[in-house]
Protein backbone atom coordinates (compact mmCIF):
# COMPACT_ATOMS: atom_id res chain seq x y z
CA UNK A 1 0.00 0.00 0.00
CA UNK A 2 1.08 3.58 -0.62
CA UNK A 3 -1.03 6.41 0.73
CA UNK A 4 -3.96 4.02 1.13
CA UNK A 5 -3.62 2.70 -2.43
CA UNK A 6 -2.94 -0.90 -3.29
CA UNK A 7 0.06 -1.31 -5.59
CA UNK A 8 -0.93 -3.51 -8.53
CA UNK A 9 2.56 -3.81 -10.00
CA UNK A 10 6.07 -2.89 -8.81
CA UNK A 11 8.60 -2.36 -11.59
CA UNK A 12 12.33 -1.65 -11.64
CA UNK A 13 13.74 0.29 -14.59
CA UNK A 14 17.28 1.03 -15.79
CA UNK A 15 18.25 4.56 -16.78
CA UNK A 16 21.18 3.29 -18.87
CA UNK A 17 23.36 6.38 -19.35
CA UNK A 18 26.51 6.86 -21.42
CA UNK A 19 29.22 9.31 -20.40
CA UNK A 20 28.31 11.59 -23.30
CA UNK A 21 24.71 12.07 -22.09
CA UNK A 22 22.80 9.51 -24.15
CA UNK A 23 20.28 6.99 -22.82
CA UNK A 24 19.53 3.48 -24.04
CA UNK A 25 15.87 2.82 -24.76
CA UNK A 26 13.93 -0.24 -25.84
CA UNK A 27 11.30 -0.08 -28.57
CA UNK A 28 8.47 -2.13 -27.11
CA UNK A 29 6.79 -4.72 -29.28
CA UNK A 30 3.69 -3.64 -31.21
CA UNK A 31 1.50 -6.18 -29.37
CA UNK A 32 -1.91 -4.79 -28.40
CA UNK A 33 -2.00 -6.84 -25.17
CA UNK A 34 1.01 -5.10 -23.52
CA UNK A 35 1.26 -1.73 -21.81
CA UNK A 36 2.41 0.97 -24.25
CA UNK A 37 2.93 -1.12 -27.39
CA UNK A 38 5.30 0.37 -29.97
CA UNK A 39 6.63 2.97 -27.49
CA UNK A 40 10.18 3.72 -26.43
CA UNK A 41 10.74 2.69 -22.82
CA UNK A 42 13.49 1.83 -20.36
CA UNK A 43 14.67 -1.74 -19.92
CA UNK A 44 13.47 -3.46 -16.76
CA UNK A 45 10.48 -5.32 -15.43
CA UNK A 46 8.44 -6.55 -12.51
CA UNK A 47 9.85 -7.06 -9.05
CA UNK A 48 9.02 -10.59 -7.87
CA UNK A 49 7.79 -11.36 -4.35
CA UNK A 50 10.69 -11.40 -1.90
CA UNK A 51 13.01 -9.67 -4.37
CA UNK A 52 14.53 -6.20 -4.01
CA UNK A 53 14.10 -3.71 -6.84
CA UNK A 54 17.86 -3.73 -7.49
CA UNK A 55 17.97 -7.54 -7.64
CA UNK A 56 14.99 -7.52 -10.02
CA UNK A 57 16.72 -5.02 -12.27
CA UNK A 58 19.94 -7.04 -12.38
CA UNK A 59 17.90 -10.14 -13.27
CA UNK A 60 15.90 -8.30 -15.95
CA UNK A 61 19.01 -6.84 -17.63
CA UNK A 62 20.55 -10.30 -17.90
CA UNK A 63 17.27 -11.81 -19.21
CA UNK A 64 16.52 -9.00 -21.67
CA UNK A 65 20.02 -8.00 -22.84
CA UNK A 66 22.49 -10.60 -21.54
CA UNK A 67 24.03 -7.60 -19.79
CA UNK A 68 25.31 -7.91 -16.20
CA UNK A 69 25.54 -4.30 -15.00
CA UNK A 70 28.77 -3.20 -13.36
CA UNK A 71 27.16 -0.49 -11.26
CA UNK A 72 23.61 0.37 -10.26
CA UNK A 73 22.65 3.53 -8.35
CA UNK A 74 19.18 4.37 -7.06
CA UNK A 75 17.71 7.45 -8.79
CA UNK A 76 14.08 7.86 -7.77
CA UNK A 77 10.77 6.13 -7.27
CA UNK A 78 7.30 7.02 -8.51
CA UNK A 79 3.91 5.77 -7.46
CA UNK A 80 1.51 6.52 -10.29
CA UNK A 81 -2.21 6.06 -10.73
CA UNK A 82 -2.85 4.84 -14.27
CA UNK A 83 -6.31 5.92 -15.49
CA UNK A 84 -7.33 2.73 -17.29
CA UNK A 85 -11.02 1.74 -17.52
CA UNK A 86 -10.20 -0.07 -14.28
CA UNK A 87 -7.67 2.29 -12.65
CA UNK A 88 -4.40 0.78 -11.45
CA UNK A 89 -1.60 2.03 -9.19
CA UNK A 90 1.97 1.10 -10.06
CA UNK A 91 5.21 1.61 -8.14
CA UNK A 92 8.24 2.31 -10.32
CA UNK A 93 11.82 2.23 -9.02
CA UNK A 94 14.41 3.84 -11.29
CA UNK A 95 18.13 3.09 -11.12
CA UNK A 96 21.02 4.64 -13.04
CA UNK A 97 23.16 2.05 -14.83
CA UNK A 98 26.27 3.67 -16.33
CA UNK A 99 27.18 2.12 -19.69
CA UNK A 100 29.66 2.71 -22.48
CA UNK A 101 28.61 2.93 -26.12
CA UNK A 102 30.57 -0.29 -26.77
CA UNK A 103 28.42 -2.12 -24.21
CA UNK A 104 25.38 -1.58 -26.45
CA UNK A 105 27.07 -3.43 -29.34
CA UNK A 106 27.71 -6.46 -27.11
CA UNK A 107 24.15 -6.67 -25.77
CA UNK A 108 21.91 -9.44 -27.08
CA UNK A 109 18.32 -8.23 -26.97
CA UNK A 110 15.67 -10.88 -26.23
CA UNK A 111 12.66 -8.63 -25.68
CA UNK A 112 11.25 -5.72 -27.66
CA UNK A 113 11.50 -4.63 -31.30
CA UNK A 114 14.79 -2.73 -31.05
CA UNK A 115 17.02 -0.45 -29.03
CA UNK A 116 18.64 2.93 -29.55
CA UNK A 117 20.67 5.57 -27.76
CA UNK A 118 18.92 8.95 -27.44
CA UNK A 119 19.85 12.35 -26.11
CA UNK A 120 17.18 13.66 -23.74
CA UNK A 121 16.12 16.20 -26.37
CA UNK A 122 15.73 13.53 -29.05
CA UNK A 123 13.70 11.37 -26.70
CA UNK A 124 11.45 14.25 -25.64
CA UNK A 125 10.66 14.85 -29.34
CA UNK A 126 9.52 11.24 -29.84
CA UNK A 127 5.72 10.96 -30.11
CA UNK A 128 5.64 7.49 -28.52
CA UNK A 129 7.66 7.30 -25.31
CA UNK A 130 6.68 6.08 -21.84
CA UNK A 131 6.07 9.38 -20.00
CA UNK A 132 7.32 8.16 -16.59
CA UNK A 133 10.52 6.86 -18.20
CA UNK A 134 11.06 10.21 -19.93
CA UNK A 135 10.55 11.96 -16.58
CA UNK A 136 13.22 9.77 -14.94
CA UNK A 137 15.66 10.45 -17.79
CA UNK A 138 15.07 14.20 -17.60
CA UNK A 139 15.58 14.10 -13.83
CA UNK A 140 18.91 12.35 -14.38
CA UNK A 141 20.01 14.53 -17.30
CA UNK A 142 19.19 17.76 -15.43
CA UNK A 143 20.20 16.58 -11.96
CA UNK A 144 22.95 19.20 -11.47
CA UNK A 145 20.44 21.99 -12.00
CA UNK A 146 17.35 20.40 -10.47
CA UNK A 147 18.95 19.07 -7.32
CA UNK A 148 21.71 21.63 -6.66
CA UNK A 149 21.87 23.03 -3.17
CA UNK A 150 20.24 26.46 -3.01
CA UNK A 151 22.67 29.38 -3.07
CA UNK A 152 22.93 31.19 0.24
CA UNK A 153 21.00 34.45 0.28
CA UNK A 154 23.12 37.57 0.09
CA UNK A 155 22.42 40.27 2.63
CA UNK A 156 20.61 43.19 1.06
CA UNK A 157 22.12 46.63 1.27
CA UNK A 158 19.98 48.83 3.46
> CA angle, corner 26, sides to 100 and 78, nearest 5?
95
The C-alpha atoms of residue 124 and residue 109 are separated, in whole angstroms, by 24
Per-residue pLDDT reduced to its tens digit, 63-90: 999 999 999 999 999 999 999 889 999 9
CA distance 22 to 7: 31
Q: Is 115 exposed, middle or buried (0-12, 13-18, 19+ CB in 10 A)?
A: middle
Could you read off the pLDDT of 125-147 as tens digits, one per residue?
999 999 999 999 999 999 999 98
pLDDT(156) > 80: no
pLDDT at 1: 43
- pTM summary value: 0.89
Q: Which domains does the chain have, with CATH numbers?
A: 9-144 (3.90.79.10)
User: Do 52 and 44 contact (CB within 8 A), yes or no?
Assistant: no
Phi, psi (degrees; rounded to nearest 5) at 11: -120, 150
Distance CA 35, CA 60 (A): 17
Amino acid sequence: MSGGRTIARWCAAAVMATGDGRYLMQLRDAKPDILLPDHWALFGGSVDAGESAEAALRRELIEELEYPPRDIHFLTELVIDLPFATPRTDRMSFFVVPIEAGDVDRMVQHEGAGRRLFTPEELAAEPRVAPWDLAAILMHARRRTLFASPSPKRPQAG
